[in-house]
Structure 1
Amino acid sequence: MKKIIVILLMIGIFLLLLIYSDFRNANAKLGENITVSKEMDDFILHIRIENTQEGIEVFRSLQYIGNEEVVVHHQSPLISVSMDHKNHDFTGSPVNRTLKSGNVYIPQDPDIFPIPRSEKMTNIYFEARFKVNGEWKVIDHVEELHFN
Structure 2
Amino acid sequence: MMRRIFVISIVSLTAVLAVTYIFIQEEPVTLAEEKSAYKQNGEFILRIKVEGAEPDIIVHQSLQYIGEEPVEIKHRTPLVSVSLFHRNHDYTGSFMSRKMEKGDIHHQDAVAITVDEKGKQNLYIQARFRADGDEMEIDHVEELMFN
Q: TM-score range by the shorter chain?
A: 0.7 to 0.9
Say if 1:71 and 1:147 are closer, same or farther in 2 by CA, change over 3 A. Answer: same
Alpha-carbon distance, 1:119 to partner: 2.8
Structure 1 unmatched ranges of 5 or more: 1-11
CA distance in 2, matches of 1:21, 1:121: 19
Taking the TM superposition and a 5 Å limit, the aligned residue runs for 1:8-87 are 16=18, 19=22, 21-23=24-26, 26-87=27-88
* Residue of structure 2 in register with 1:144 after alignment: 143
Say how many residue pairs are matched: 133
Residue type of the alignment partner of 1:132: A
Does the CA contact (< 8 Å) of 1:54 and 1:112 recur in 2? no
CA distance in 2, matches of 1:18, 1:53: 20
Q: TM-score, normalised by structure 1?
A: 0.81
Q: Cα RMSD (Å) of the superposition?
A: 2.1
CA distance in 2, matches of 1:67, 1:41: 12
* Residue of structure 2 in register with 1:125 after alignment: 124
Does the CA contact (< 8 Å) of 1:42 and 1:66 recur in 2? yes
Percent identity of paired positions between Structure 1 and Structure 2: 40
* Residue of structure 1 in register with 2:8 after alignment: none
Q: Which contiguous aligned blocks of 4+ residues in structure 1 show a shift greater than 3 angstroms?
A: 15-21
Say if 1:38 and 1:142 are closer, same or farther in 2 by CA, change over 3 A. Answer: same
Say if 1:47 and 1:131 are closer, same or farther in 2 by CA, change over 3 A. Answer: same
CA distance in 1, matches of 2:83, 2:93: 16
Q: Deviations over 1:100-147 (max 9, x none)?
A: 0000011x310101122x331211100100001211000001111101
Structure whose CA Rg is larger:
2
* Residue of structure 2 in register with 1:113 after alignment: 113
